[in-house]
């Protein structure tokens, strides 16, 4: 199968999953004990007013109409209205998205930049102190709940040593870009420093699990590759060890590592939700938690859809990347 | 008679495993002469591959070459190190094991090269065959351009270069000239449409074609000595014959020597000038092909020849004598001839370590029968082992 | 089910690996702690004593100089219209009565860690069992029948996988509410633990129920069954091609019987390995839900970490100690998982942490 046909097939599958996701999210409302009108109205409200509100929300329509209203708006970016603020959900989700993306990307970069060299060092210095250190680190790293790690970082680095702020995001990348474009270079640089200063602890908090996981994968993958005959053959033909390790063994190690990173992006988003809660980071996670506490179901549903659809799309991208870097893949 | 290009003396290699020390190669001695094919034959597990890897210095942990010398004839190297490392030089010969690490590494390619049994696993699955061959050409091109750097720890190719090559699209280790040369090499080993095939990945090749490509890769550095470890074992019979012919032709064209490792006596008979028979990490008998085949002294060799497999017989498993090759664990090796428990002619004399006896300057054997006749009165009680 | 050879591999790998021994020791320790909590816990986990709030753990007594209002005979001293202050050294002394210190309400942290183990283990074991039940059922059905059934089941698994598990869990618990079932603690109800405690002169009054966080158990299972389904399906797909399974079917064995008798036993090894890793993952998930206040549990490691946050600048140990308990437990489980994986080599992956 060719790459393009593979991508078409994979996209159709993705579309199906997205449909499923939307349907599941739609169904979420029905497992809730109370009905949405209660969120808006005091319990002792006049039944007529109550009926009016229910009609306004469309809750007295037949189920299939409600379903159609729900699903048909989504391709156009209509995720409904917040019960609490009466503003469009899509706008609120969109406003929170950059903060979460920044955090997730920063954590991924931290993870990759640390983990891959660490895994390689660990594999090439097997049974030496560096290897034991990396092994212990990755074991503890995948076993540590990141919210606790965040609290520990705050207690030690923010409270005791006052090196970092405990929370918040006074400026985002979008703000920095804006400053930069508007020509205030000095302020943009200041903004960037502030941003880095504020994102460091959240990024470490969110990134540690992935650093540990990727270290582990890289180490075992490298050990596996370095034991392959082609590595021996590369040495036999006189290639420099650097070339053998990095052009040959490491690249083949990274091919499966990429897939696992893709699969783990869901965990990354989940981790972001809770990291945001620890650091009062105003992203999607905070939005989700607030919407649950306020019983603002449309906001919760909209956020879930955005997260899940994003995850599906990223996975398709990862598969395409995998197919591209690995000529052997059978695309099935 | 031609001079040796390679003199192996008392080479020993052990693996330090959890179960204990495994003496996979035990004081192995042999010569490879200029332009000859020297064969090593023996059952699976007798230490042939480890011998081959020890010669070209590719033993990985937990293994280590524990002793012995690898004398390689190279007048330039001998001249270079005569002053600084006199112990590593003897006439025109250098002892590769005593040369600095960088120099040893730089010999792989232009001096020694190796081909393996399974071509599919010997190529990196995610890089085109052409590029992999071109890499082997490129190393030599860079070495000629800058011999000093090539002997450094990184061979002039450090982490920085690796990173830049990975991330900058216009940078690549392999040059265009090397790619062209790779295509020539593919042509030379008889691959049709070499230009197109060079662009293909290993999994797009058939087994025989990939074996040819691996030979092309090994020839890229124009080696003096080609180590071929079971080069045809994974192939079916007609392809086997083609590959053997190819090796023979190339050996004559290039004037190189081949160290041919196989468990198949048919291959030995067809290819080799001289041969060593390996058992339990030792070379038990060695000499010119004719002597070994017509006048074998060691009971193991006799047993092997009693069941010479037909090269055309696909089931060429070699099981000449009942019993197994011992485990080679040092703690379990007897203080006797290693073959004694399977030998039909074992005698009380055999219950000590057996030295190598020289029969006529060319033929030598590690067996008491070299000195005395078999005498039934001295025979050892043999428990016939029924285990499999 | 578990063959002689499997046991031999397990033993050999155990002998070889120090880490595996550590893992087993840790897991056994935590299990014992959870089971025998009413015997060994120094206090009831809910017992407050505001006079003893925020005592540090042993070895962390502090002395700090503070400026306080000067008091004389119980009243503030005022001189020249100003409140007089004085320097005083304030000691916060650790006491052997609370070796791990106390929290903001003066509850004993050690007791809360011991009782918190119960919540984690209950959710870990019941959640994993339920997830395994659902997942194995779905996976075996999909792999055994293949075709359309397989497609439908596995596509629904894909849909589940599209939700990050923590996000889905939060949403489900958040929407669903936090049903919990108090079940009587057998040791306390039978009088065994109280008798033991009064005999040894321990404080009595241990809680007589264990709170089973029902919604959380169901939710973690709903979120994590997919991993079991994938493994079970893979096993079923390959085992159904085996000759003896074909033979059994040819002889007219019913599908249910064939699956139970032939397919399931062969799939048990990888499922066990996965279950070990999943207990760790589910414990992490539970702690995250508790941390966010969504689980409803009031004795839970994750919840206690959240409680300690308001004291993060004055009493670090309140958040730190329960977190260490989580890390130790999960490291132990992961080590056991690694041991099983190395010994049995089932070739599986499963989602990890939070
Ligand atoms: N990586 C290794 N670790 C431990 N022992 C090894 C290793 N490689 C080879 N050996 C030992 O060396 C012996 C000889 O192996 P090998 O040279 O591959 O045999 P052959 O090529 O003759 O079949 C084996 O029986 C084995 O015990
Ligand atoms: S030395 Fe003895 S036992 Fe060994 S091969 Fe010769 S005859 Fe047989
Ligand atoms: Mg071999």
Q: For residue A81, what is the DSSP state? A: B
Cα(B281) to centroid(ligand 2), Å: 15
Q: How many domains does chain B have?
A: 1
pLDDT of residue B382: 57
pLDDT per residue as tens digits for the range C206-250: 888 888 888 899 999 999 999 999 889 988 888 877 777 788 878
Question: Which residue lies with its CA nearest to atom 12 of ligand 1?
Answer: B24
Strands B37-41 and B257-262 turn out to be parallel
Break chain A into its structural domains and give their ranges: 89-325
Count of helices and strands (H, E) across chain A: 15, 0
A307 has a chain C CB within 8 A of its CB: yes
pLDDT the model gives residue C205: 81
Helix H or strand E segment including A7 = helix A3-28
Output Rg (C-alpha) for chain B, integer angstroms: 22
- The alpha-carbon radius of gyration of chain A (Å, integer) is 24
Q: What is the pTM of this model?
A: 0.85
Give the number of other CB atoms < 10 A from CB of residue A193: 12
**Per-residue b/e over C74-87, b at no fewer than 16 CB within 10 Å?**
eeeeeeeeeeeeee
How crowded is residue C289: how many other Cβ atoms within 10 Å of its Cβ?
A: 31
Question: Which of B47, B233, B276, when mutated, tests ligand 1's pocket best, judged by the most ligand atoms within 8 Å of its CB?
Answer: B47
The DSSP line for B28-88 is EEEEEETT-EEEEE--TTSSHHHHHHHHTT-PPTTEEEEEEEEEEE-HHHHHHHHHH-GGG
Of B318, B311, B306, the closest CA to residue B279 belongs to B318
How is chain C split into domains, by residue range? Answer: 4-59+98-344, 60-93
* Tens-digit pLDDT profile for residues B219-248: 998 999 999 999 988 888 889 999 999 999
Q: How many other β-carbons are positioned within 10 Å of the β-carbon of residue C248? A: 17
* Within a domain: B127: yes
Q: Is the CB of B44 under 6 A from ligand 1?
A: yes
In this prediction, residue B59 carries a pLDDT of 92
B384 pLDDT higher than 50: no
Point out which residues pair with B70 in neighbouring strands: B8
Q: Which helix (H) or strand (E) is C89 found in, with range?
A: strand C85-92
C176/A contact by beta carbon, under 8 A: yes
Between strands B225-229 and B257-262, the pairing is parallel
Ligand 1 atom with least separation from CA of B328: 27
Answer whether residue B48 is part of any domain.
no
Task: Kindly report, residue by residue over B146-205, the tens digit of the pLDDT.
Answer: 877 778 777 778 788 878 877 777 778 888 999 999 999 999 999 999 999 999 999 999
Beta carbons of B262 and B278 less than 8 angstroms apart? no
pLDDT at B307: 59
Tell me if the domain spanning C4-59+98-344 has CATH number 1.10.3720.10. yes
pLDDT (tens digit, 0 to 9) for every residue of chain A, 332 residues total? 577 787 888 888 888 999 999 998 888 877 776 666 666 666 677 777 777 777 777 777 778 888 888 888 888 888 888 888 888 999 999 999 989 989 998 999 899 999 999 999 999 988 889 999 999 999 999 999 999 999 999 999 988 888 888 877 778 888 888 888 888 888 888 888 888 888 999 999 999 999 999 999 999 999 999 999 999 999 999 998 889 998 899 988 988 888 777 777 777 888 898 999 999 899 999 999 999 888 888 899 999 999 888 888 888 888 787 777 766 655 44
- Helix residue spans in chain C (DSSP H): 4-16, 18-35, 37-40, 109-145, 147-162, 165-176, 186-189, 192-200, 214-239, 243-250, 255-258, 264-291, 301-308, 317-344
Q: For residue A42, how many other CB atoms are within 10 A of its CB? A: 7
Minimal Cα–Cα distance from B159 to chain A, Å? Answer: 6
Q: Which residues of chain A does C163 touch, with a Cβ-Cβ cutoff of 8 Å?
A: 21, 24, 266, 304, 307-308, 311
CATH code, A89-325 = 1.10.3720.10
Hey, of B135, B139, B228, which one would you mutate to test binding to chain A, going by the most A CBs within 10 A of its CB?
B135
CA C57 – CA C60 distance, rounded (Å): 6
A70 or C330: which leads in pLDDT: C330
| Rounded to 5°, angle at Cα B31 from B26 and B34 | 150
Indicate whether C296 pLDDT > 80. Answer: no
By three-state DSSP, how is residue B336 classified? coil
* B361 belongs to a structural domain: no
Residue-number span of the structural domain to which B158 is assigned: 123-222
Give the model's pLDDT for residue B315.
47
Q: Does A252 touch chain B (CB under 8 A)?
A: yes
The answer to whether residue B86 is domain-embedded is no
Please write the tens of the pLDDT for every residue from C3-19. 777 788 888 888 888 89
Q: C62-82: per-residue pLDDT in tens? A: 777 777 777 777 777 787 778
Atom 6, ligand 2: residue with shortest CA distance: B367
């Amino acid at each position: 199968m060719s790459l393009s046909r593979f991508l078409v097939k994979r996209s159709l599958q993705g579309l199906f999953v997205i449909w499923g996701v939307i349907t599941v999210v739609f169904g979420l409302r029905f497992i809730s004990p109370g009905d949405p009108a209660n969120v808006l109205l005091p319990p002792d409200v006049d039944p007529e007013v109550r009926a009016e509100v229910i009609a306004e929300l469309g809750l007295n329509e037949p189920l299939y109409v409600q379903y159609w209203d729900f699903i048909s708006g989504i391709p156009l970016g209509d995720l409904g209205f917040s019960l609490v603020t009466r503003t469009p959900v899509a706008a609120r989700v969109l406003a929170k998205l950059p903060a979460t993306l920044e955090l997730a990307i920063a954590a991924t970069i931290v993870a990759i930049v640390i983990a891959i060299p660490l895994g390689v060092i660990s594999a090439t210095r097997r049974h030496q102190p560096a290897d034991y250190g990396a092994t212990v680190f990755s074991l503890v790293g995948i076993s540590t709940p990141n919210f606790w790690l965040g609290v520990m970082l705050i207690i030690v680095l923010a409270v005791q040593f006052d090196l970092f702020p405990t929370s918040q995001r006074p400026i985002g990348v979008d703000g920095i870009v804006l400053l930069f474009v508007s020509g205030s270079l000095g302020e943009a640089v200041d903004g960037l420093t502030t941003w880095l200063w504020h994102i460091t602890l959240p990024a470490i908090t969110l990134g540690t699990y992935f650093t540990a996981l990727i270290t582990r994968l890289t180490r075992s993958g490298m050990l596996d590759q370095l034991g392959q005959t082609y590595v021996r053959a590369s040495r036999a033909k006189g290639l420099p060890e650097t070339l053998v390790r990095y052009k040959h063994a490491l690249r083949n190690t990274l091919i499966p590592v990429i897939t696992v990173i893709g699969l783990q992006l869901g965990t990354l988003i989940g981790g972001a939700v809770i990291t945001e809660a620890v650091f009062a980071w105003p992203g999607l996670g905070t939005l989700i938690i607030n919407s649950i506490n306020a019983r603002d179901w449309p906001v919760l549903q909209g956020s879930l859809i955005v997260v899940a659809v994003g995850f599906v799309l990223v996975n398709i991208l990862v598969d395409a990347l995998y197919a591209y870097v690995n000529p052997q893949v059978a695309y099935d | 008679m031609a001079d040796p290009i390679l003199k192996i003396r008392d080479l020993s290699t052990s693996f330090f495993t959890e179960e204990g020390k495994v003496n996979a190669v035990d004081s192995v001695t042999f010569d490879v002469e200029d332009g000859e094919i020297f064969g090593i034959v023996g059952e699976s597990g007798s230490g042939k591959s480890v011998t081959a890897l020890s010669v070209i210095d590719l033993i990985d942990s937990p293994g280590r070459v524990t002793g012995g010398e690898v004398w390689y004839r190279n007048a330039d190297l001998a001249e270079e190190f005569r002053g600084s490392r006199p112990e590593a030089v003897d006439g025109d010969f250098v002892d590769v094991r005593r040369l600095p690490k960088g120099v040893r590494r730089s010999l792989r390619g232009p001096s020694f090269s190796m081909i393996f049994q399974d071509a599919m696993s010997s190529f990196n699955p995610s890089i085109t065959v052409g590029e992999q061959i071109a890499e082997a050409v490129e190393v030599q091109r860079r070495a000629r351009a800058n011999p000093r750097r090539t002997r450094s720890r990184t061979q002039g190719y450090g982490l920085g270069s690796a990173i830049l090559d990975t991330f900058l699209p216009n940078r690549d280790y392999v040059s265009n000239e090397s790619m062209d040369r790779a295509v020539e090499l593919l042509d030379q080993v008889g691959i049709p449409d070499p230009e197109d095939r060079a662009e293909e990945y290993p999994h797009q090749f058939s087994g025989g074609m990939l074996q040819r490509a691996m030979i092309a890769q090994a020839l890229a550095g124009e080696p003096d000595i080609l180590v071929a470890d079971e080069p045809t074992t994974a192939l079916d019979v007609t392809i086997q014959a083609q590959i053997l012919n190819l090796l023979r032709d190339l050996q004559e064209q290039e004037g190189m020597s081949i160290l041919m490792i196989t468990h198949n006596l048919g291959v030995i008979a067809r290819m080799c000038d001289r041969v060593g028979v390996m058992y339990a990490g030792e070379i038990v008998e060695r000499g010119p092909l004719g002597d070994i085949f017509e006048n074998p002294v060691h009971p193991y060799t006799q047993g092997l020849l009693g069941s010479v497999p037909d090269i055309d017989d696909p089931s060429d498993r070699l099981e000449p004598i009942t019993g197994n090759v011992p485990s080679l664990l040092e703690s379990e090796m007897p203080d006797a001839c290693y073959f004694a428990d399977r030998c039909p002619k074992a005698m009380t004399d055999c219950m000590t370590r057996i030295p190598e006896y020289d029969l006529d300057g060319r033929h030598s054997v590690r067996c008491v029968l070299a000195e005395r006749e078999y005498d039934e009165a001295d025979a050892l009680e043999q428990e016939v082992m029924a285990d499999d | 089910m578990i063959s002689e050879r499997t046991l031999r591999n397990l033993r050999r790998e155990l002998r070889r690996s120090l880490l595996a021994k550590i893992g087993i020791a840790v897991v056994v320790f935590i299990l014992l702690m959870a089971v025998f909590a009413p015997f060994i816990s120094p206090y009831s986990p809910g017992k407050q004593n505001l006079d003893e709030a925020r005592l540090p753990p042993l070895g962390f007594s502090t002395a700090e100089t503070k400026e306080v209002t000067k008091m004389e005979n119980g009243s503030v001293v005022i001189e020249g219209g100003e409140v007089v202050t004085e320097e005083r050294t304030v000691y916060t002394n650790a006491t052997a009565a609370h070796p791990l210190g106390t929290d903001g309400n003066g509850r004993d942290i050690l007791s809360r860690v011991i009782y918190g183990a119960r919540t984690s283990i209950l959710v870990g074991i019941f959640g994993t069992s339920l997830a395994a039940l659902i997942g194995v059922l779905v996976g075996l059905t999909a792999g055994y029948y293949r075709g359309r059934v397989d497609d439908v089941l596995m596509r629904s698994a894909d849909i589940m996988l599209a939700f990050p598990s923590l996000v889905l869990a939060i949403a489900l618990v958040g929407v669903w509410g936090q049903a919990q079932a108090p079940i009587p603690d057998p040791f306390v109800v039978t009088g065994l633990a109280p008798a033991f405690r009064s005999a040894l002169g321990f404080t009595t009054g241990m809680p007589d129920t264990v709170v089973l966080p029902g919604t959380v158990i169901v939710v973690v299972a709903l979120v994590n069954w997919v991993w079991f389904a994938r493994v079970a399906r893979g096993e079923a797909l390959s085992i159904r091609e085996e000759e003896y399974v074909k033979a059994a079917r040819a002889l007219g064995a019913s599908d249910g019987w064939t699956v139970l008798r032939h397919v399931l036993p062969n799939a048990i090894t990888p499922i066990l390995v996965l279950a070990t890793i999943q207990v760790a993952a589910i414990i992490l998930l539970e702690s995250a839900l508790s941390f966010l206040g969504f689980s409803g549990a009031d004795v839970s490691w994750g919840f206690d970490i959240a409680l300690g946050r308001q004291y993060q600048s004055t009493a670090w140990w309140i958040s730190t100690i329960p977190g260490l308990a989580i890390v130790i437990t999960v490291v132990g489980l992961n080590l056991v998982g690694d041991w099983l994986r190395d010994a049995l080599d089932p070739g599986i992956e499963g989602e990890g942490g939070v």
